[in-house]
Structure 1
């Protein structure tokens, strides 16, 4: 087959465009020109889970044309293989063959073979360019060059508003013991003084100076956290920090005292009949039990249980009436690979403080009616969360109170946390995978 480097590049970009179309169809949003930064962050996570190949959100933006460059970005073979695999093909070569067959690109009308011209050999592992007639080849080449010219002109016009830097957030040491000092490197467009901030995922946030690249954060409570680089209210990039535990751990802290937490050393917690933390143990740890305080029980570990097909059942007793505690609330959080399920149950008169999250979907009692999350557990009660194929149902005292579907999968569960205002008791807890029947090792 006779070809030249320019023609090969034209065909390479043609197949890349078709690959992007198939990836967008698989992702569920075919108009990728309308994608936000959140879409690229989510797609990056999904691609890694599906293919185990890490493609950063910024690389995806280059591939799909969100970030403009002098010439259309063309990714390496491993990246193209991963995109093709996500779209349902074995690898890039299979995608090329399928596109060529579907669009009749391999039909031969008049082979382009002339004496004195040599046949170019495709690069190793590359799919051969389909044979074309002279007429059809010139037509496609001309159209492609015209498209590239238009894109280049549009890029030049937009240069006045396009940042030269590429926003990114990386944690150098994402896995650690509790406590953990995480080191983040941040890249923002230095030429612009936009409102950047860094949300560490544990309720703390800091503003970002475009001229500062390294940020440290001190994590004090075990669990899995999603740190996010934000511009205004729009997420630009994210990374995960994970502090696993050996079995169940207890941590206490006081309201309005954000500078300290108090690890509580309790032997045989939830394994030897110990189901709660008493006020004497809290006082010995440094908690002023005459003030408003919280006790959090955490079991953070890789479970092998799907966060999109599981059942959680637990029996709880919230704090009795005491100084500094009015709402007697309990928060339950299921930590997934890339997001969480979470709900806050309070006394009926305190549903203002209630919250509910299923992956990317969230509701707050401050803006919405969450009166169904009002329940008095001071004498005990049961909570049940049933998730099947990304459809979640929440039960309180054996009555279904809420149901919703969500889009972004949690994938594997990485832990559970239960937080009480004041002293609380966990009488029992069972978590199992609905597909495999696997039980959580921290069940009791």
Structure 2
């Protein structure tokens, strides 16, 4: 259904013998206006009421939410470009389908039909009878025929589009095995069978990152891929743009694992620990970076992650505490530390930064991502260059945050993220740690510097 931006709005009305009127309305919106309007609605549903105030982190969050809901990754950069009206090239149909599916439609064509066409049948009592002059009955019959034809055309268009969706998903199979237990990088062997599935194309995507999507042959059964980062990944088997199977791929670490990245989609640069460093010592130095051939003249995010070989702690009931401070690698007006609890679904994290930079602060609690761009997160502001203590306490999805032993936030979330899979600490500098501890609601310590192998 192609919409011409130069066509005026038109309304066709007819009246049935029962006295009810049929109204078909077509809005004169072009494709670009529809895309922008749909993205604005997605922003609103995620708590962003001013699209111009969104940061790249906010766009990346929207990207993750669309991916979780639809199985289609649209990059944060693409979302930002389309939302700002930069249409130097037409959006891919996969992007448009992802937007429409997030809003509850099957595909972009169905969304346009639903967004652009309104059919109303008001009660007969709401209108007075219309008496046409003698000899003009042919005109009434003409408009009835036109309106009926429009309804049929809309229905046929929807039927044709829906009939093109891939089918027979139940016949697909998807499994995997790792070539090693915890080596990083780690090669994974995917086994699949999609011979009985009706679709034009098939893919395997190893995680949320669409850049890690590989096209597969319908007549083959094996694909190998490399995971460069540890963690809990959800690999997807995709037919056209529909996720038809998913498997949880867990890549654990042997203790803490360190790496640097210039941007979220970059491959990690691994950081080697100093010889003789104790398992509980997470502190890195500039010498560690240089010996690992890390270019310290570039802005990077430094990550420390720990993914144990087993998962046993409920993400809805735990206490996490950490005491740390940032030592800058490069001079930065807004140093930060992010503390993250990895889970089988939604992560829980806090990003703290100096008070003058709190518009860059953020946090995620279950399904709720909260940005300092659209919410006052002044309570997450502190000088992270000084020793800072953070406590995240969760009891039956009720969250309390303490900063330097002061209660600064209380809230809750709805959707469980199942079990805790690991811990992560990120910063644009190097962190010095005094303590990191994770314990259950009953006080049982699952991880601490004194018990680094408890998990």
| TM-score, normalisation: structure 1 | 0.55
How far apart in 2 are the matches of 1:238 and 1:379? 43
Distance in 1, matches of 2:67 and 2:294, equals 42
Is residue 191 of structure 1 aligned with residue 199 of structure 2?
Answer: yes
Counterpart Cα distance in 2 of 1:317 and 1:245: 24
SS of corresponding position for 1:266: coil
Q: Is the 8 A contact 2:435 2:448 kept in 1?
A: no
Residue aligning to 2:176: 172
1:440 matched to 2:446? The reply is yes
Measure how far apart 1:378 and its partner are.
Answer: 0.3
Cα deviations by residue, 1:167-191 (Å, 9 ceiling, x for unpaired)? 8684512664222123445759653
Change (3 A) 1:205 1:306: same
2:342 counterpart residue number:
335
**Secondary structure at the counterpart of residue 281 of structure 1:** helix
Q: Describe the shift of the 1:236–1:224 C-alpha distance in structure 2 as closer, same or farther (beyond 3 A).
A: same
Mapped contact 1:254–1:287 kept (Cα < 8 A) = no
The structural deviation recorded for 1:366 is: 4.7
Indicate whether 1:315 and 2:323 are aligned.
yes
Partners of 1:204 and 1:253 lie apart in 2 by 18
Task: Evaluate the alpha carbon distance shift between residue 263 and residue 239 of structure 1 in structure 2; reply closer, same or farther with a 3 A threshold.
Answer: farther
Maintained 8 Å contact 2:342/2:348: yes
Q: Offset at 1:278? A: 0.8
The 3 A distance-change label for structure 1 pair 337 and 283 is: same
* Mapped contact 1:292–1:325 kept (Cα < 8 A): no
CA distance in 2, matches of 1:351, 1:391: 23
Q: Please, which runs of 5 or more residues in structure 2 have no aligned partner?
A: 1-65, 72-158, 451-455
Report the Cα distance in structure 1 between the residues aligned to 2:256 and 2:240, rounded to whole angstroms: 37
- Alignment of structure 1 residues 289-438 onto 2, 5 Å: 289-301=296-308, 302-320=310-328, 322-323=329-330, 325-435=332-442, 437-438=443-444
The alignment partner of 1:172 has SS state of strand
How far the C-alpha of 1:204 sits from its partner, in A, is: 5.9
C-alpha offsets along residues 378-404 of structure 1, whole Å, 9 cap, x if unaligned?
Answer: 011111000101222222222333333
Q: Give the RMSD, CA atoms, in angstroms.
A: 4.0
Match of 1:205 in 2: 211
Q: Against the structure 1 CA distance between its residues 158 and 317, is the aligned structure 2 distance closer, same or farther, given a 3 Å change threshold?
A: closer
**Alpha-carbon distance between aligned partners in 2 of 1:216 and 1:364, rounded to the nearest angstrom:** 37
Contact in 2 for aligned 1:319/1:421 (Cα 8 Å)? no
> Does the Cα contact within 8 Å between 2:199 and 2:240 map onto a contact in 1?
no
Separation (CA, whole Å) in 2 of partners of 1:347 and 1:362:
20
Decide whether the 8 Å contact of 1:287 with 1:293 is kept in 2.
Answer: no
Supply the distance in 2 between the matched residues of 1:162 and 1:204 (Cα, whole angstroms): 21
Q: Residues of 2 paired with 1:387 and 1:426: CA distance?
A: 22
* Residues 201, 239 of structure 2: 8 Å contact kept: no
Residue of structure 2 in register with 1:219 after alignment: 227
Matched, 1:288 2:295: yes
Which moves more between the two structures, 372-381 or 358-367?
358-367
Q: Which one of the candidate residues 242, 253, 262 is aligned to 1:245?
A: 253
TM superposition score normalised by structure 2? 0.54
Give aligned pairs, total.
291
Contact preservation (8 Å) 2:216, 2:223: no
Cα deviation digits, residues 334-374 of structure 1 (max 9, x gap): 12234421222223344444332223222334554444333
- One of 165, 188, 191 as aligned partner of 1:182: 188
Q: 1:38 Cα deviation (Å)? A: 7.1
Alpha-carbon distance between aligned partners in 2 of 1:276 and 1:401, rounded to the nearest angstrom: 27
- What is the CA distance between 1:297 and its match in structure 2? 1.7
Please give the residue correspondences for 1:48-59 in structure 2 after superposition, counting only pairs within 5 Å: none
**Using the alignment, how far apart are the partners of 1:173 and 1:276 within structure 2?**
34
Report the secondary structure of 1:440's partner residue: strand
* Structure 2 equivalent of residue 128 of structure 1: none
Q: Where does the alignment leave 5 or more consecutive residues of structure 1 unmatched?
A: 1-35, 42-155
CA deviations 1:206-235 (Å, max 9, x no partner) are 456475676554322322223456799986
Change (3 A) 1:159 1:176: same
Q: Aligned with 1:290: secondary structure?
A: coil
